[in-house]
Structure 1
Amino acid sequence: MTTGPLASAQFEWRSINPADAGFAPDLDERLDKAIADKRAWGLHGVVVTRMGKLVLERYFAGEDEVWGAPRGSVAFGPDTLHDLRSVTKSILGLLYGIALDLRKVPAPDQNLIAQFPECAAAATDPRLQRLTIAHALTMTLGFDWNEDIPYQDPTNSEIQMEQAPDRLRYIFSRPFISDPGTRWIYGAAGTELIGQLLVKGVGHSLPDFARANLFDPLGIGPTEWTKGFNGQPAPASGLRMTPRDLARVGQLILNRGQWDGRQVVSSDWLAKSFQPYVPCDEQRRYGYFWYSGDLQYGQPPHRPITHWIGGFGYGGQRLFAMPDLGIVVAITCGNYADEQQWMPPVRVVRDVVLAGLK
């Protein structure tokens, strides 16, 4: 389903020369060189903003897909929608915070299994009674869940959940491999549960609630939300949006939840969302469906460190917000099933954007 703004805020990205935004004037050339040197590949769109102004915007042609269905070669442009994949999870986190402020959903410290009484009979492991909504938001449920294998593999846990006749029973019947809250295990289980809580609490579909409470206030244009095997918009990975509009979400983060004089997402929720509750690996930490970390940049011996907040999606979809620098980077890629798909976005941020700072 495609939806567009009903009463969008009066905001359009205004361009600024890189040199006037504190960058080297050859930012475009630096991106071209990264591509020519094969350090960045499969790029579909790159949008860089600083202090609310557009510094770099580039689009490319390439093979693409929608949730695994091939689209062939697409000539991308400012208005071309793109799968965000699991960046959807991060936006879902914002929506849950909005619904919480509206008192439509339970708080993170509330018992999780109690929100799904239909699954109470399956709750035989006593650890299920210890689960909270925060465990779903931070991917620390502790369930045996494997999305580290290709999504084309039928043993992938998300694919098994999609194909299960009862998603909730599938999730809550997974065996524990760690105690709740002790280990980050990536997967769609938490987002499926949060998505269902959100829809049940607000009484609207994900696209409708997002449009009225987040997308319209930000002036975001048309979006799509791909449906899962159950016919419902997929809360884990279904959102499609333009890189320009994804950058608006990043700017909202820099604005501490404010947009056009309105507090769209509470600053308190954002602060909780970006706390490093659990490590993902040596570089990344995880909050309420948002990653965070630090990047060093510049030339020796003076190499400052900048903090970033980000949403990551399969195939190389990325949103980075760097509050201390006032920078937002939105990237879309077509590197699905590429084992090194994480490299191009990191190199664009590190070798082009941060290396281009004066």
Structure 2
Amino acid sequence: MIKNGYLVAEDYFNEGVIDQKDRLQSVTKSITSALVGIALEQGCLSGVDQKVLDFFPEISENIIDVRKEQISLRHLLEMRSGYPREEDDQALWNGLLSGNYPPLLKHFPLVDDPGTRFHYSNLSSNWLGIIVDRSCGMNLKAFAEEKLFSPLGIEPGDWGQDSEGHNNGCGDLHLSARDAAKFGLLYLNDGMWEGKQIISSDWVKASLQTYSVNEAFVKRIGNFRDIGYGYHWWTAKANDYYVSIAWGHGGQLIVLVEELDMVIVTTSYPFWLEHNDQSWKHEKAIIKMVSKFISSIPNK
């Protein structure tokens, strides 16, 4: 836990240690979002309303559903592209595991018009990662190390790749809990780190807004309610506190409580490729613990 910029509490269990680099699962999505923001600042990208298919010319000429031509980077960031949640269908899940992602822009069906509804889509994050890769001319991990991790003093571990060598934008980045906390603190401080603007404050603010609320697969967990989504960050309320959450399967969390100047990080067994009642029970227990703690803090 970071409070007022200081590490005030930490503990490790079940043979965990301070320098252990954990698979953060979908916390990776929030870092991918940060890299999109940095790519915009660097001029690799011109704006969030750029059309996704512009970055995939090998696919764009073969699109049958013309609605896909309207999908923008903004739609991917907000999970409002119209593509489905992969966990709902085994064929879609197999596609996600295939590691061959550009063709799925064509092959996966839209279940809603772009921009109209929230659907949690891992592929949206993978496509964003490929877009940053193609636009900036370096893979996502190398770009992150140069523009984000090195300035923060973060030493990343492994970051899984797809069949073409692109780092997976949706997950599989390994960081220590302390390094995850640095990333959270960067966002809590509007993108500023030790007097240097690493990510634009406008991007941080846009990322932590709520564009969809109570549209996800869960509307309340523990004391977190009104669960919504920004640019690859979850949002919620705990008591009267507004919180922003980088959230990964199994119970990987970076929770920002701006009003309390607080960052809370949890890491846990990631349940890699395990999506079942046991994994969800474990994940909910951690989320409930964190939400209960935040709610217990008096709001002065």
Normalising by structure 2, we get a TM-score of: 0.88
Contact 1:315–1:335 under 8 Å retained in 2: yes
Contact 2:208–2:233 under 8 Å retained in 1: yes
Question: Partner of 2:259: helix, strand, or coil?
Answer: coil
User: Which structure's residues are more often strand, by fraction?
Assistant: 1
Instruction: Tell me the distance in 2 between the aligned counterparts of 1:270 and 1:146.
Output: 28
Could you give the per-residue CA deviations for residues 303-343 of structure 1, whole angstroms, max 9, x where no partner exists? xx111111111111111011111010010111624132332
CA RMSD in angstroms, aligned pairs only? 1.9
Per the TM alignment, residue 198 of structure 1 is displaced from its structure 2 partner at its CA by: 0.3
Q: Name 2:261's counterpart in structure 1.
A: 326
Between 197-206 and 275-284, the greater mean CA deviation after superposition:
275-284
Aligned length: 284
Instruction: Tell me the distance in 1 between the aligned counterparts of 2:91 and 2:290.
Output: 30
Q: Name 2:75's counterpart in structure 1.
A: 135
Bigger-Rg structure (1/2)? 1
Could you give the per-residue CA deviations for residues 157-199 of structure 1, whole angstroms, max 9, x where no partner exists? 34423326x4211233211211111111112121111111101
Could you give the per-residue CA deviations for residues 129-183 of structure 1, whole angstroms, max 9, x where no partner exists? 221111111111112342257xxxxx2634423326x421123321121111111
- Does 2:167 align with 1:263? no
Q: 2:243 aligns with which of 296, 308, 318?
A: 308
Instruction: Tell me the distance in 2 between the aligned counterparts of 1:232 and 1:196.
Output: 6
Per the TM alignment, residue 270 of structure 1 is displaced from its structure 2 partner at its CA by: 1.0
- Does 2:277 align with 1:342? no
Contact 2:133–2:166 under 8 Å retained in 1: no
Residues 106, 118 of structure 1: CA spacing in aligned structure 2 closer, same or farther, 3 A cutoff?
farther
> Aligned letter for 1:307?
Y
Where in structure 2 are the equivalents of 1:1-358 lying within 5 Å? 48-61=1-14, 75-148=15-88, 155=90, 157-163=92-98, 166-279=100-213, 280-281=215-216, 282=219, 283-296=226-239, 305-334=240-269, 336=271, 337=274, 338-355=279-296
Per the TM alignment, residue 262 of structure 1 is displaced from its structure 2 partner at its CA by: 0.3
User: Which runs of 5 or more structure 1 residues have no equivalent in the other structure?
Assistant: 1-47, 62-74, 150-154, 297-304
User: Which structure's residues are more often helix, by fraction?
Assistant: 2
Instruction: Tell me the distance in 2 between the aligned counterparts of 1:114 and 1:104.
Output: 13
Between 336-345 and 248-257, the greater mean CA deviation after superposition:
336-345
Question: Partner of 2:54: helix, strand, or coil?
Answer: helix
Q: Name 2:222's counterpart in structure 1.
A: none
> Aligned letter for 1:54?
L
Instruction: Tell me the distance in 2 between the aligned counterparts of 1:240 and 1:81.
Output: 5
* % same residue: 30
Normalising by structure 1, we get a TM-score of: 0.75
Contact 1:122–1:169 under 8 Å retained in 2: no
> Aligned letter for 1:196?
I
Contact 1:84–1:313 under 8 Å retained in 2: yes
Question: Partner of 1:342: helix, strand, or coil?
Answer: helix
